[in-house]
Amino acid sequence: MLHAKLSASGAKKWINCPLSVVLESKMPNEETPYAKEGTLAHELSELKLRRELNLIGKEAYDTEVSKLDYDDEMDKYTDYYCDVVMEIVNKYDRNYSTVRLEEKVDFSPWVPEGFGTSDVIIISDNTAEVVDLKYGKGVKVSADNNPQLMLYALGVLNDYNYICDIKEVNLTIVQPRLDSISSFKINVYDLLEWGETIRVKALKAFNGEGDCVVGKHCDDGFCRARPICKAYADERLKIAKYDFKDPAELSADDIADILGTVDELVRWSKTIKDYALTKALSGEEYKGFKLVEGRSNRTFNIDDSKVLEILKGGGFKESEVCETTLKSLSSLEKMIGKKDFKTMLGSHVIKPMGKPTLVPIDDVRPVYNSAVNDFNNI
């Protein structure tokens, strides 16, 4: 698939950090399992919507769907997404509206060589709808002033306004696995004004000018340049240069400060280690380090069934050499089905207290009450 140098999905990064385009171009761009999963969910959703909109017959739909390797969970979540899309589609008179799926939009008047593919576009009267499926469940994405969807919206104006008179655009992001539907309405004047501010930033990023600017966009945008970005490293290493007031002992406030950043530091350290290992395997040398073989355990070089055969031949019974373990609660529930599982085992399901853990104050979970928990555990 052809990718734009300044992609709409990466807009948060290049708008905030113009040099990210240059740095990311130096890193391998391999498709992650999450990206593969997202692509599959998009393919399945597109087919389901085509069927809903009568753009594909039942037979062709069944044939196409049977080629996709998805599970029940994806089936359920894509159903949810398609229901949301159809609700939006049905807001408008079908005789006077247009629905486009996986439509390529051109926003190059604002962003050099800028184009992207919008999941769903609906145009009716003076309104355009842009709907986007986010299959990930790591970071909740808001539609409020979302640059990716606003670029798609500019593309819609560019591609369709010569035949329509769009005055308002509704942007919607559906994140079914987080049970999240986020919407944002913007009028065309504000959108075009935003486009003007973007034009300058896009040119800078396209020309590889400006600086690396660290912010939420580095992690939220999964910047591939994190292992090599000096600005990102400086930010993460601030904790190591912490200016403690009392050099002999850390105060509770010092520890609270460290707790606030330690997870980021650990994540970044892992990113650096993974990156350095990949580079070392392809010949890069790091002063003071060498590649060695890691620890490994002895194992058989034949199938378990063959091992069993040999053992039985040696006079051992199957029950003596094999262990049977019960499947996990979730696997059993999935296998039996929620309803039957509840009937058979529902009264035996408990939820033990979780281990106490320190989290930032804005975490939604209630505060751990050690007195109550001590009492419950007696």
Contacts to ligand SF4 by CB under 6 A: 13, 17, 19-20, 23, 212-214, 217-218, 223, 225-226, 229, 231-232
Output the smallest distance, CB 269 to ligand SF4, in A: 15
Q: Which is nearer to ligand SF4, 108 or 271 (CB)?
A: 271
Q: Which is nearer to ligand SF4, 21 or 188 (CB)?
A: 21
Q: Which is nearer to ligand SF4, 16 or 175 (CB)?
A: 16
Output the smallest distance, CB 224 to ligand SF4, in A: 8
Output the smallest distance, CB 13 to ligand SF4, in A: 5
Q: Measured between alpha carbons, how far is 36 from 191 in angstroms, rounded to an integer?
A: 32
CB 312 within 8 A of CB 318: yes
Q: Which is nearer to ligand SF4, 148 or 170 (CB)?
A: 148
CB 122 within 8 A of CB 88: yes
- Can you read off the two tokens belonging to residue 1? 């698939």
Enumerate long-range contacts of 212-215, CB under 8 Å, 24 or more apart.
Answer: 212/17, 212/19, 212/20, 212/23, 213/16, 213/17, 213/18, 214/17, 215/16, 215/17
CB 133 within 8 A of CB 121: no
Q: Which is nearer to ligand SF4, 17 or 99 (CB)?
A: 17
CA angle, corner 147, sides to 12 and 99, nearest 5?
140
Output the smallest distance, CB 4 to ligand SF4, in A: 17
Question: What does the DSSP assignment read for 183-237?
Answer: EEEEEHHHHHHHHHHHHHHHHHHHTT-S----SHHHHHTT-TTTTT-HHHHHHHH
Output the smallest distance, CB 237 to ligand SF4, in A: 14
CB 128 within 8 A of CB 166: yes
Q: Measured between alpha carbons, how far is 258 from 243 in angstroms, rounded to an integer?
A: 11
CB 197 within 8 A of CB 15: no
Q: Which is nearer to ligand SF4, 4 or 23 (CB)?
A: 23
Residue 86 DSSP code: H
Q: Which is nearer to ligand SF4, 156 or 212 (CB)?
A: 212
Output the smallest distance, CB 235 to ligand SF4, in A: 8
Burial label, 276 (beta-carbon count in 10 A; 0-12, 13-18, 19+): middle
Output the smallest distance, CB 144 to ligand SF4, in A: 21
Q: Which is nearer to ligand SF4, 234 or 340 (CB)?
A: 234
Q: Which is nearer to ligand SF4, 184 or 268 (CB)?
A: 268
Output the smallest distance, CB 195 to ligand SF4, in A: 22
Output the smallest distance, CB 242 to ligand SF4, in A: 21
* Residue 374 CA from chain centroid, whole number: 38
Quick one: CA torsion of 280, 281, 283, 287, rounded to 10 degrees?
A: 20
CB 52 within 8 A of CB 84: no
